[in-house]
Structure 1
Amino acid sequence: MAEILLEAANLDVGYATGWAKPATVVVKNVSLSIGRGEVVGIVGESGSGKTTLGRALLGLVRPLAGTIRFAGTDITRLDEAAMRPLRRRMQMVFQDPMASLNPRHMIARILTAPLRLHGLARTQREALALASQTLDQVGLPLAALQRYPHELSGGQRQRVGIARAVMLKPDFVLADEIVSGLDVSTQAQVLRLIGDLSRDMGLAMAFISHDLSVIRAVCDRVLVMRQGEITEEGACETVFAAPRSPYTRSLIDAIPLPVPDPHWLARLPEAVP
């Protein structure tokens, strides 16, 4: 088994509903682990707590109870100053790239600013060289550097979001519903890119989705969430072939899955820049 990179134990996460009122608990007593180089899917219906769990794992939401350890460090109660050295190693790709990319900045600035901030490039020239290299890695032309987000397609914007995350050479990436707004062909291209990057860079990844076929295509293990709790977990093939939880079975029955072809992504044509 791969070395554990990220581990949560007995995690409760919630949000305050008003002054002097108890917090509404959204994630309840969740325990999980993600190994280096492992892609773990988190699946469930809307409102099941998937995104809240993901944000807690990144230290963006402080849990009400439980612990989170990253690379052996307990990050559960760290303040922002203490978390800052770990931010480069923990990255997120957002669901809506148009909302997460600054519309006033060209892609060159969006990509080079984090490199300069985290000290991965000493000069703007070095930062541009690294950004160009990463754009090529995610299948975008260098001309994209001189464009604004609105001048790119949805799939291209999502690739910029992926580039922004992986160029910092993180250990862990959280991908939150990153293909839900894309057409089927572009979804397949982005999924193949995620698989290639995870394999080539040894990334640990949590992949949040409501789409069971997406989880099955890219993940090693899957966690099934319902009403803030994990109802089932295991290797993807095991869970999909013989689900133990009636809820998991209902999800599979609601979206019938074809007989899986493990090589379907590899046979797709290369993305056109």
Structure 2
Amino acid sequence: MPETLIAATGIEVVYRARRRSQGSTGEHKVLHGIDINVDRHETVGIVGESGSGKSTLGRALLRLTEVTKGSIAFDGTDITHLPERQIRPMRRRMQMIFQDPMSSLNPRRSIRRILTEPLLFHRVTANSADAERRVRKFFDRVGLPLSCLDRSPHELSGGQRQRVGIARAALLEPDFVLADEIVSGLDVSTQAQTLNLLKALTREMGLAMAFISHDLSVIRSVCDRVYVMRHGLIVEHGRCDDIFANPREPYTKLLIDAIPLPRIDPGWLDRGRAEQISEAALAN
């Protein structure tokens, strides 16, 4: 029987903006009563066009965006309005991989500092030497050469920066990871390598993950279930195989029809894995 890790019920998010000319406050409701759950060891897709509210939903699940209405439970604890001092110890268990790793990695720090400091802050390791050993071991797992440790983010490729982002999240051994459009800016080969890495890590570490994307072909590659969003609402959800085989909503059918290749290439991720191995061999 699946065990629910995250359960959100009736989630609403309203953004308020002050109109300077009128001296009044305008409201824009982004989420309209969303119900969503993520089980342990499960990868759930959240898909929709730009402006559908999927990124806002993801940030709300992590309490990075405050909800106006509804409730969010993480591992049985209601975190909806939990004070920051109480939710801070739980942050290690809820990690995020950002769409643009360049903007989420401190440009003034080396990759070594970016990865070791969270381990020390959250007391995952006892000292700097332990953190260094942990990072070096994990670098091989994500297919990065150790020479990257002394580089700055701008000295890495987009694919390498995204692997650093994945490593930063996974090194803390979280229970849940939110991945927000993390392959949208990568070429097809690097996308395949990144998705393969995520699939392997979620399997090996027993992670639960919510994967946000506008691309259903990516969702189909990595997710067990999918929620389809439009205008701040869930219009359809279910197991990926069922949704692709028999979409009920016209909007879901439009998203499926927009996939460049109606049938997924079964060798796509395997070729990406082979190229990643070749790159790692050349780098070493």
Q: CA deviation at 1:260?
A: 2.9
Distance 1:59 1:20 in 2: 27
What is the total number of aligned residue pairs between the two structures?
273
User: Greater share of helix residues, 1 or 2?
Assistant: 2
Q: Give the gaps of 5 or more residues in structure 1.
A: none
Distance 1:190 1:256 in 2: 20
Q: Deviations 1:193-234 (Å, cap 9, x if unpaired)?
A: 000001111100000000111000000001000000000000
Q: Does 1:189 align with 2:173?
A: no
Q: Deviations 1:144-202 (Å, cap 9, x if unpaired)?
A: 11111111100000000000000000000000000011111000000000000011111
8 Å Cα contact 1:217/1:262 also seen in 2: no
Of 162, 167, 173, the match for 1:163: 167
1:37 is aligned to 41
Partner letter of residue 207 of structure 1?
F
1:9 is aligned to 9
Distance 1:34 1:20 in 2: 39
Q: CA deviation at 1:263?
A: 5.3
TM-score if structure 2 supplies the norm length?
Answer: 0.93
8 Å Cα contact 2:116/2:135 also seen in 1: yes
Pairing 1:60-75 to 2, within 5 Å after superposition: 60-75=64-79
Q: Does 1:255 align with 2:259?
A: yes
Q: CA deviation at 1:22?
A: 5.2
Pairing 1:232-247 to 2, within 5 Å after superposition: 232-247=236-251
8 Å Cα contact 2:30/2:53 also seen in 1: yes
Pairing 1:92-171 to 2, within 5 Å after superposition: 92-171=96-175
Q: Deviations 1:80-134 (Å, cap 9, x if unpaired)?
A: 1111010000000000000000011000000001000001112111111111112
Pairing 1:217-236 to 2, within 5 Å after superposition: 217-236=221-240
8 Å Cα contact 1:40/1:219 also seen in 2: yes
Distance 2:91 2:24 in 1: 32
TM-score if structure 1 supplies the norm length?
Answer: 0.97
Distance 1:232 1:256 in 2: 22
Alignment identity in percent? 60
8 Å Cα contact 1:173/1:205 also seen in 2: yes
2:270 is aligned to 266
8 Å Cα contact 1:37/1:199 also seen in 2: yes
Q: Give the gaps of 5 or more residues in structure 2.
A: none
Q: CA deviation at 1:266?
A: 2.9
RMSD: 1.3
Distance 1:93 1:111 in 2: 13
8 Å Cα contact 2:192/2:268 also seen in 1: no
Q: Deviations 1:12-66 (Å, cap 9, x if unpaired)?
A: 0121122753531101110011001100000000000010000000001110000
Structure 1 stretch 246-255 or stretch 72-81: which is displaced more?
246-255
